[in-house]
Amino acid sequence: MKHGNHFTSCFQLSPHADYLALADKVLAFEPRSVRSRLQGHVIGVFFEEPSTRTRFSTESAAYRMGVQCITSLSPAATSIAKGESFEDSARIWSMYCDLLCVRHRLPGYARLLGRHASVPVINLGDGPLEHPTQGLATILHIASCFGRTKDVRICIWGDVAMSRCAHSVLIACVLLGAAVWLCPFPKRQLPEDLLRLLGATVPSCSVGIVDNVEDIPHPLDVLYVNRLQVERRADGDQVPYAKITSVDMAKLQKNGIVLHPLPRRGELPDEICCDTRVRIWQHAEMTLRTRQFLLYQYLANVAALPITDMPFETSECCGRPDCASSLFPSSQRPASRASEAGADALKKTCGACLRQVAR
């Protein structure tokens, strides 16, 4: 199966698609109306990390459309515990399911699973790397609020080192021409590799980095808030736990919006959520609607999604222990053909975790 048929990264979002028109379709879509078309379909829902919104919204969308789910919440409950390779499991899961929805602790897992699956794979979170359905939902929410994505001013605030939602939103925003500032927690800066890939993919990309929201030289349309990913680093609790204040909110236009992928902790307190510009619950609904529309499009085989190949083809993988390629030994073989991308930076990118491959 071609890479582009899976949805594993916001790097796959087409910069040429009409996201406002797509948002309208997503909002108008009625899942119960496609029951007769999708009846008999089965999806695999494999989650190796905790989830409330993502898994429940996926399963709820499936059931509303008459689609059945096979859900597994731990590899320990599958033949992987008996030593079956992930490659073999991917082949078997593809026989039993029409689509695989996966969340895994290691970056690149969905991408590598997709190399061995004969049905589409949707990445619902690969460790700290990406959460592309969340990125797409955010772009659609922005398009429906502002009528466009180009030149929309967005600040991505919080743990931009480890938040996969922040990464996918950043990639989507840069690809679709938004003006982006990062306001990271101390010691939670964006990984260099992601910045390098963004620069190589969109040469005109400019991502501002500020210490405080008030340092951004323009009023903001969107403030995208993320929690500290305490579970992803040993020093998680030692980083100061900042919160959004009225000073940050003053930077937001009157018609601006505050989004958060949820769950929220202290970073977005109730007193700030009283502001009508905080749209976290509407955003949760947009993520549900986006996932149900995606499932429908994939299962009914309707080719209306703006999901293309990765802009850089990487067949080589790094094999580091904190990369999904450590689980897929076949991915560690050296690339059999040179990358099509011109830039050297892209040629040396691990096909799983998207970090540089050491030479």
Q: Which residues bind ligand NCD (CB under 6 A)?
A: 53-54, 125, 131, 134, 163-165, 227, 261-262
Instruction: Report the residue number, 116 or 227, with the smaller CB distance to ligand NCD.
Output: 227
**Is the Cβ of residue 109 or residue 312 nearer to ligand NCD in the bound state?**
109
Of 317, 5, 1, 356, nearest to 193 by C-alpha is 356
CB of residue 229 to ligand NCD, shortest distance in Å: 6
Instruction: Give the Cβ contact number of residue 329 at 10 Å.
Output: 13
Q: Which is nearer to ligand NCD, 105 or 148 (CB)?
A: 105
β pairing state of 99-104 and 42-47: parallel
Residues 65, 32 contacting (CB under 8 angstroms): yes
Distance in Å, CB of 123 to ligand NCD, minimum? 11
Give the residue among 35, 46, 259 at the shortest CA–CA distance from 142: 259
CB under 8 Å to 207, separation ≥6 — which residues?
170, 174, 180, 181, 182, 190, 195, 198
Minimum distance of ligand NCD from residue 199's CB (angstroms): 25
The DSSP secondary structure of 49-107, one letter per residue, reads S--SHHHHHHHHHHHHTT-EEEEES-GGGSGGGGT--HHHHHHHHHHH-SEEEEEESST
Cβ 85 to ligand NCD shortest distance, Å? 27
Q: Which is nearer to ligand NCD, 224 or 312 (CB)?
A: 224
Q: How far apart are the first and last CA of the chain?
A: 29
- Shortest gap between Cβ of 34 and ligand NCD (angstroms)? 24
How far is 350 from 338, CA to CA, in rounded Å? 13
Between 287 and 349, whose beta carbon lies closer to ligand NCD?
287
Please answer whether residues 259 and 141 qualify as being in contact, where contact means their C-beta atoms are separated by less than 8 angstroms.
yes
CB of 106 to ligand NCD, least distance (A): 14
- Smallest gap, in angstroms, from Cβ of residue 341 to ligand NCD? 28
Which lies closer to ligand NCD via its Cβ, residue 164 or residue 196?
164
Inter-residue contact 149 to 221 (CB < 8 Å): no
Q: Which amino acid is at 217?
A: P
* CB closer to ligand NCD out of 222 and 346: 222
**Three-state DSSP state, 154:** strand
